[in-house]
Structure 1
């Protein structure tokens, strides 16, 4: 079995278990020239669709119901994601829970260490409550980025995307405004694709090459 065939299957399977994507389908130009030449992904078509929103145990888990991306600062640039699996770092700032290095949400939001409750409204308003207090304190505002052509984004790693000339510049603002989705605290967006039906059906010539190599 060719290296391309194996790597393609592994890449597709890795996409199935990503958080924050309803459907991200990559189609590949599968024209084979020879066994020694691996086909290139000349035609890449990313399709974003709303995935199932499932409740979680995380106070800082946030799902986007509708269009839009969270803005993330990776210390070098602003990137984008629909994965709302957040936590607090040692400074009390909202960061992506799945990252080894610091990936903080933009605009930055900080929660005091003595806060006992954190509230995130549908329109992105973040507030917290300290022990003994009856009134919540304002902490910040989560904003979403919306792209006219989200399919033009470049995929980086672990659900992160970067804007391109094809995607256009993002329209940034509060959730629920100008076509942006709203937020659900305590929920995470799951993939809505079945692990078998999501596997791309390759060109029959690729299939025959793989069978011939096995035999």
Structure 2
């Protein structure tokens, strides 16, 4: 009975984590370049149950097997799904998106990061920056547009202003995207970056979040139902324990 309490409690904790992940996905449904997360669960080791009080077998290991008993669950890891979101057309020439695999490279005081969020702008010093003020890196370092006129970016990331080439975006592909770590603001760090992308840059487009609202709402409903089921099991065990204690007091 006590084992059942712990098993159900571990299930409730697992569902709480899954609910947090789903809630965060829904909160970022309109975040440009956001990649959704998914909680991956794993089971605790199962216990092999044998029949007790079997008069025919004094050796416990020889008693008939009833079956296996689960002993709980845990969230093994939070996996980021790096599939591409929908590309939406805009009128801003500094809005860029990558169609295919790859990342823009940006830099701030804390280091170098990778992002799919290509909603860029020009700061007061003429540098191409993200909406958070991080500098967008080119092949030769931070990109300076100055008092830019007509900006054009081709599919390979080459940038020209008023028809004059001023450099190229630094674009990379992750050897293993699962080795990358989220740091907020649609930025990633870690992993092994390889120069070049398996796709092309599209100007006047931005990449939407890859979160599917309907899917996440269904996941949230399933999570809450599983949580409530474990809650009822704990309540049932608690009532049984209370009745057992009452019987003990009567004796």
TM-score calculated relative to the size of structure 1? 0.74
Match of 1:127 among 154, 157, 160: 160
**Is 1:104 matched with 2:117?**
no
Larger % of strand: which?
2
Query: Counterparts of 2:123 and 2:170 in 1: how far apart (Å)?
Result: 20
SS at match of 2:31: coil
Q: Is the 8 A contact 1:30 1:202 kept in 2?
A: no
Q: Is the 8 A contact 2:96 2:204 kept in 1?
A: yes
Match of 2:39 among 16, 19, 27: 27
The structure that has the greater radius of gyration is: 2
Q: What does the per-residue CA deviation read over 1:112-158, in whole Å, with 9 as the maximum and x for residues that have no partner?
A: 21x321011111110101xxxxxx22221112111121022111102
SS at match of 1:202: helix
**Is 1:143 matched with 2:189?**
no
**Is 1:94 matched with 2:123?**
no
Mark the runs of 5 or more structure 2 residues left unpaired by the alignment.
1-11, 45-72, 235-251
How many equivalent residue pairs? 187
Larger % of helix: which?
2
Q: Name 2:149's counterpart in structure 1.
A: 116
**Is 1:14 matched with 2:41?**
no
1:166-181 matched pairs, under 5 angstroms: 167=191, 169-173=192-196, 175=197, 180-181=198-199
Query: Counterparts of 1:150 and 1:59 in 2: how far apart (Å)?
Result: 28
1:33-44 matched pairs, under 5 angstroms: 41-44=75-78
**Is 1:80 matched with 2:121?**
no
Q: What does the per-residue CA deviation read over 1:29-77, in whole Å, with 9 as the maximum and x for residues that have no partner?
A: 3879xxxxxx974322222112221101211000101100111102221
Deviation of 1:12 after TM superposition, in Å, equals 2.8
Deviation of 1:94 after TM superposition, in Å, equals 0.8
SS at match of 1:92: coil
Q: Name 2:184's counterpart in structure 1.
A: 157
SS at match of 2:161: strand
Q: What does the per-residue CA deviation read over 1:135-189, in whole Å, with 9 as the maximum and x for residues that have no partner?
A: x2222111211112102211110211111xxx3x20023x5xxxx2210000011
Q: Name 1:190's counterpart in structure 2.
A: 208
SS at match of 1:138: strand
C-alpha RMSD of matched pairs (Å): 2.9
